[in-house]
């Protein structure tokens, strides 16, 4: 205790103690000098500094004092080398930050569990088959295929009833169906689209979700004839109703039908799919009343055993494994499916039921993003590797350049451990600053990645939060790199022969290149190889996007505004509906700045597809032959600037007159090769009369995607010809100026026409096309960014290594110049070395690129994975960058004055 | 001049420096560092040579432990010097160390004595 007090006193009066110690030693020295004569005294005393340090270290605080000293010194030396500090910090920050951001997204997408009770007990029902099973007569929902077959989560409602009735393996089974068409919700006379989910009565109970207000949907709500009720999601309740608890019991209009809000689900519950957050939940049995053909839908959805549309989840009984439950349930479903088969063809293959892990909810998002994220992760991993290699080579080079400083410190009496500790403190300090900057990069990166992945979608539901474990991991990795590569040269350079080091002449340093294949060069070469890999990747994606952009669309995408309206959901029908759209179209045409207006069932190049059976009198077609359809108004083709090649375009009179159509030249090529198609007739749909007359031929344009290999044969049909099928439509407005400036006028006109009809999906045609190639664009943007980053880091590493190499060889170069070497020769000597390093790196990088680009082949368009232009371009870029990085040191070497250089020693 | 060869001097056996310093102070009362070193050397007939490099850190350590206290005074040659003096704790420590040393010494002697 008293000892501690004494130590404290020492700390407070440190200077005094120091002075006293100093004086005491002088006293000692003086006395022994008196006795022995001056000569040997100070020598005999030995290393005074060391002695003083040791005496001081007795007081223990020294270790902290020295740490603070090291820190101060480290900061000062960082400030003295701003370039080095900046490069090292930036490369570390990018490596740490980018990795953390990407991994945080991987975590959010691949590893998140549903916020419900015991999510590990949940299973998702799917079926799998090699080919489309014959027992499936119709389907609404998603299916996805791979090389081995097709998978789908959709089942017939009777199968759900059958499975729910036998709760032996799975305690509860509940069903739901996504409302693929947005629901038109009118609240306080304001119409808005909302995302809906139809749920069975056992949905909330099975998941274990609790209400935040009111009650949730139960079995009594989900049956025919039950009062129409709806549950709000917490987010929708907050957004649309300001979290007002009084909305429970209120009535809202959904697709023009009154629904009573009975409750709000708990705040953390976002639905069963992390990729989609429904606003509104209504019972499955409300589906027919919300649909266009109520009775037909009811019969099909609830009584047709061959119509697959509901998705199911279940909760395993405690102690029952997923495999056991699957064995029981798949046998039962097999029995069900065979009972619905009526012909031999339908018995060929039945869909096989499978149970998937349901803890993470549905996996649509995982399917969509996991592969791009793995590609991104690989790129970011490369960046981290490059950054670490960069830190390593910079530290190596710097310590080499500091040999002299270290030798001075050693000869002045610094202990070896002390110098090593100093160097370690510096590299740790660097890692720390890099880590903090990395944190900022991670936060910013998550934000911009959300923005990139959301890609303009208004309500993007994927939200990643900063993953601290990953941040810690990458940070520790950076610290270890810093320590390792700070320590190795520290150990080495503290063991130097002081005299030689002070003179800056090293035994192994001849006149030529020294240690050409040292660790530093290996690191720089590796960086160049990895950068090449990223540059090749960037080149491939950039060229892919350029190819996609330069595809001949067949129409003019400039200055074109798109938006959709659905007046049918607001209660308009048949002729009134057609009239509503026609009136609006006329009014849109009068907006100042609108040069032309068109209307279509869906926009071009937006992944929409409509096709139907076709038959042509006098032309033999294979059974099931289909043609593409484009349901339009007369203004569509002129607005899109799709030219008419023969005959005439659609006109206003065609809207009411006998049935006519314009077809594209692909249609002519396919069905009337070398014949005049004008005046010929065809029929759409089975057993319908061939009463549609071809009046014109339009030039072909892209239909559903810029990546489509061949444009389909297409018929443009006036929208008035099939009023039953008329529902939502898209308008195309050709503008004289900025198309988005028309939006307020459009909204006002629509609201004036009917306050129950919302304007939705507002965007320009160019943005629409960009959206369909968003994955490629995201890759191109990110990969270009990463490549530039990697290139920058690698060049800086090369520059640093070469600059230090030149500094180290100043005297050798001076001798050469003194002996008559030309400046050009000297510069070339350095440049040659740079280019040699670059060449080795490029060759290594190319061979890796050759082997690995096949992983991204599926993302490429209009080119091969080994595109010679991309590979050659990447090599040129790298060699040029390396040359630029080496130019500085080479120029400096060439300017070395032999006199100064030789005096340098 | 002096001409001492290595054989004439010995390093102080490890762990005994504190004891020697404490004993010296016990004998002399008050002394500065140089005096302590000289005293040990003289008493041991130049066999024990105290290195300054170990003496001053040792004195610092003893100050921390509270075995000695230091005071600046005029020395016999009219210089300012730091004089060290034993404390009660130091005296106890000396007794402990001497006792321990004699025990070990006796044991060593028993081992190396011709049988």
Residue-level pLDDT at A903: 67
Torsions phi, psi of A400, nearest 5?
A: -60, -40
Contact B64 A20 (CB under 8 A): no
Query: Has residue B2 been placed in a domain?
Result: no
Burial class (CB in 10 A: 0-12, 13-18, 19+), B32: buried
Q: Is B81 on the interface with A (CB under 8 A)?
A: yes
User: What tokens does A86 get?
Assistant: 């900046």
The complex's ipTM works out to 0.75
- The pLDDT tens digits of the residues spanning A44-95 come to 555 566 666 666 665 555 667 777 888 888 888 888 878 778 877 877 887 7
Cβ pairs bridging A and B (under 8 Å): 61
Closest chain B residue to A2, measured at CA: B66
Tally of domains in chain B: 1
Q: pLDDT tens digit string along A688-739?
A: 888 899 999 999 998 888 887 778 899 999 998 888 888 889 999 999 999 9
Question: Would the CB atoms of B33 and A28 count as touching at under 8 Å?
Answer: yes
Task: Indicate which CATH number applies to the domain containing B36.
Answer: 1.10.10.10
Cβ neighbours around A552 below 10 Å, total: 9
The answer to whether A36 contacts B33, with C-beta atoms less than 8 Å apart, is: no
Q: Is A2's CB within 8 Å of B72's CB?
A: no
Using the Cβ of A54 and the Cβ atoms of chain B, whether some distance falls under 8 Å is answered with yes
Decide if B1 is inside a domain: no
B3 part of a folded domain: no
User: How far is it, in rounded angstroms, from Cα A378 to Cα A847?
Assistant: 17
Distance from CA of A28 to the nearest CA of B (A): 5
* Nearest C-alpha neighbor of A429 from the set A81, A77, A75, A64: A75
* Positions of chain A with pLDDT lower than 50, given as ranges: 39-43, 505-517
Q: For strands A692-698 and A681-684, give the pairing.
A: antiparallel
Chain A interface includes B73 (CB < 8 A): no
Whether B93 is covered by a domain: the verdict is yes
Nearest by CB to residue A58, choosing from B34, B60, B66, is: B60
Identify whether B30 is part of a domain.
Answer: yes
Q: In this structure, is residue B37 part of a structural domain? A: yes
pLDDT tens across B62-112, in order? 888 889 988 888 877 777 888 899 999 999 999 999 998 899 889 888 888
B65 vs A: CB within 8 A: yes
pLDDT at B42 over 60: yes
Give the per-residue pLDDT at A44.
Answer: 52
Q: Which residues pair with A616 in a beta bridge?
A: A619
**B18 token code pair:** 């504190």
Distance separating alpha carbons of residues A216 and A222, to the nearest angstrom? 11
Dist. CA A486–CA A805, nearest whole Å? 18
SS3 content of chain B, % helix, strand, coil (to 5): 55, 15, 25
- Crossing angle of helices B17-28/B88-112, nearest 10°? 130
Q: Which domain holds residue B84?
A: 8-112
Q: What is the pTM of this model?
A: 0.64
Residue B47 to chain A, least CA–CA distance (Å): 17
**Cβ contact (<8 Å) for B57 and A6?**
no
**Minimum CA–CA partner of A50 in chain B:** B53
Tell me which residue in A47, A50, A58 faces B61 most closely, judged by beta carbons: A58
Whether B107 maps to a domain, the answer reads yes
The answer to whether the CB of A581 falls within 8 A of the CB of A817 is no
User: CA torsion angle for A336, A337, A343, A345 (degrees, to 10)?
Assistant: -160
Tell me, what's the pLDDT at A514?
A: 45
DSSP bridge pairs for A232: A264, A280
Q: Which of B57, B64, B66 sits opposite A54 (nearest CB)?
A: B57
Give the best residue of B33, B52, B83, B93 to mutate against chain A (max A CB count within 10 A): B52
- Kindly state whether residue B97 falls inside one of the protein's structural domains: yes
* Residue A28 to residue B2, Cβ atoms within 8 A: no
Q: Show residues of chain A in contact with B63, CB under 8 Å.
A: 6
Q: Residue A49, Cα to own-chain centre: how many angstroms?
A: 59
């Amino acid at each position: 205790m008293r000892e501690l007090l004494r130590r404290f006193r020492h700390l407070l009066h440190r200077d005094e103690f120091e002075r006293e110690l100093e004086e005491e030693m002088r006293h000692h020295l003086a006395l022994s000098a008196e006795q022995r004569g001056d000569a040997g005294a100070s020598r005999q005393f030995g290393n005074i500094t060391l002695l003083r340090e040791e005496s001081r270290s007795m007081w223990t605080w020294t270790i902290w004092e020295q740490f603070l000293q090291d820190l101060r010194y480290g900061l000062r030396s960082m400030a003295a080398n701003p370039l080095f500090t900046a490069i090292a910090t930036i490369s570390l920050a990018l490596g740490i930050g980018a990795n953390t951001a990407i991994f945080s997204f991987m975590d959010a997408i691949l590893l998140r569990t549903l916020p419900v009770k015991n999510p590990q007990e949940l299973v998702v029902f799917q079926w799998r088959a090699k080919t489309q099973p014959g027992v499936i007569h119709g389907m609404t929902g998603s299916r996805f295929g791979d090389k081995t077959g097709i998978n789908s989560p959709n089942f017939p409602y009777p199968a759900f009833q059958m499975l729910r009735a036998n709760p032996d393996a799975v305690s509860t089974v509940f069903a739901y169906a996504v409302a693929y068409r947005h629901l038109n919700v009118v609240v306080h006379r304001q119409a808005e689209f909302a995302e809906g989910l139809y749920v069975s009565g056992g949905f909330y109970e099975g998941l274990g979700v609790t209400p935040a207000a009111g009650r949730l949907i139960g079995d009594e709500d989900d049956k025919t004839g039950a009062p129409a009720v709806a549950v709000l999601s917490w987010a929708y309740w907050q957004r649309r109703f300001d979290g007002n608890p009084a909305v429970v019991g209120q009535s809202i209009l959904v697709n023009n039908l009154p629904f009573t809000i009975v409750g709000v689900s708990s705040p953390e519950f976002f639905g069963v799919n992390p990729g989609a957050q429904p606003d509104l939940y209504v019972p499955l049995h409300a589906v027919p009343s919300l649909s266009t053909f109520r009775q037909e839908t009811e019969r099909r959805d609830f009584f047709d055993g061959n119509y697959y549309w509901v998705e199911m989840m279940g909760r395993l009984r405690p102690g029952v494994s997923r495999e056991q439950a699957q064995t029981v349930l798949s046998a039962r479903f097999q029995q069900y499916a065979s009972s619905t088969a009526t012909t031999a063809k339908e018995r060929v293959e039945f869909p096989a039921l499978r149970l998937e892990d349901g803890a993470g909810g549905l996996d649509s998002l995982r399917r969509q993003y996991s592969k791009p994220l793995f590609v991104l992760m690989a790129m970011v991993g490369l960046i981290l590797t490059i950054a670490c290699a960069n830190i390593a080579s910079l530290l190596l080079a710097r310590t080499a350049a500091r040999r002299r400083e270290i030798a001075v410190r050693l000869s002045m009496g610094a202990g070896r451990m002390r110098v090593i500790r100093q160097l370690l403190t510096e590299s740790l300090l660097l890692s720390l600053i890099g880590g903090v900057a990395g944190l900022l990069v991670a936060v910013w990166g998550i934000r911009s990645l959300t923005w990139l992945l959301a890609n303009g979608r208004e309500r993007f539901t994927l939200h990643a939060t900063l993953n601290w474990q990953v941040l810690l991991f990458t940070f520790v990795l950076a610290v270890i790199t810093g320590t390792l590569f700070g320590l190795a040269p520290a150990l080495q350079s503290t063991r130097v022969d002081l005299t030689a080091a002070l003179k800056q002449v090293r035994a192994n340093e001849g006149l030529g290149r020294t240690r050409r294949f040292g660790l530093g060069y290996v690191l720089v070469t590796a960086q160049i190889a990895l950068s090449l890999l990223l540059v090749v990747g960037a080149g491939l994606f950039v060229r892919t996007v350029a190819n996609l952009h330069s595809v001949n669309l067949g129409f003019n995408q400039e200055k074109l505004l798109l938006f959709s309206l659905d007046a049918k959901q607001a209660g308009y029908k048949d002729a009134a509906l057609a009239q509503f759209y026609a009136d609006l179209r006329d009014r849109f045409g009068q907006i100042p700045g609108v040069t032309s207006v068109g209307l279509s069932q869906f926009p071009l190049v937006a992944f929409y597809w409509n096709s139907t059976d076709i038959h042509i009198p006098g032309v033999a077609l294979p059974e099931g032959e289909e043609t593409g359809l484009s349901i339009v108004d007369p203004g569509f083709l002129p607005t899109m600037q799709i030219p008419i090649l023969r005959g005439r375009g659609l006109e206003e009179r065609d809207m009411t007159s006998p049935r006519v159509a314009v077809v594209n030249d692909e249609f002519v090529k396919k069905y009337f090769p070398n014949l005049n198609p004008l005046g010929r007739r065809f029929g759409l749909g089975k057993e319908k009369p061939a009463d549609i007359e071809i009046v014109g031929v339009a030039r072909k344009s892209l239909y559903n995607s810029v990546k489509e290999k061949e444009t389909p044969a297409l018929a443009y049909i006036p929208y008035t010809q099939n009023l039953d099928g008329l529902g939502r439509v898209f308008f195309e407005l050709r503008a004289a100026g900025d198309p988005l400036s028309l939006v307020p006028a459009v909204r006002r006109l629509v609201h004036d026409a009917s306050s129950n009809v919302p304007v939705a999906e507002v965007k320009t045609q160019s943005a629409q096309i960009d959206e369909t190639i968003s994955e490629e664009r995201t890759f191109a943007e990110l990969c270009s960014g990463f490549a530039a980053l990697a290139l920058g880091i690698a060049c800086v590493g090369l520059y640093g290594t070469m600059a230090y190499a030149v500094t180290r060889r100043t005297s050798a170069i001076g001798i050469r110049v003194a002996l008559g070497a030309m400046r050009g020769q000297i510069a070339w000597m350095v440049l040659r070395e740079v280019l040699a390093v670059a060449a080795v790196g490029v060759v290594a990088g190319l061979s890796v690129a050759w082997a690995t680009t096949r992983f991204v082949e599926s993302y490429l368009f209009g080119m091969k994975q080994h595109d010679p232009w991309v590979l050659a371009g990447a090599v040129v870029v790298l060699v040029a960058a390396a040359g630029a990085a080496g130019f500085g040191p080479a120029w400096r070497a060439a300017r070395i004055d032999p006199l100064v250089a030789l005096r340098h020693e | 001049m002096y001409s001492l060869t290595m054989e004439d001097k010995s390093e102080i056996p490890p762990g005994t420096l504190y004891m020697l310093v404490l004993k010296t102070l016990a004998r002399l009362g008050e002394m500065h560092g140089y005096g302590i070193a000289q005293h040990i050397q003289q008493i041991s007939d130049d066999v024990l040579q105290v290195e300054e490099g170990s003496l001053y850190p040792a004195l610092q350590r003893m100050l921390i432990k509270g075995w000695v206290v230091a005071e600046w005074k005029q020395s016999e040659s009219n210089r300012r010097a730091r004089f060290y003096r034993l404390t009660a704790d130091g005296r106890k420590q000396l007794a402990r160390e001497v006792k321990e040393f004699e025990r070990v010494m006796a044991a060593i002697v028993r081992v190396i004595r011709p049988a």
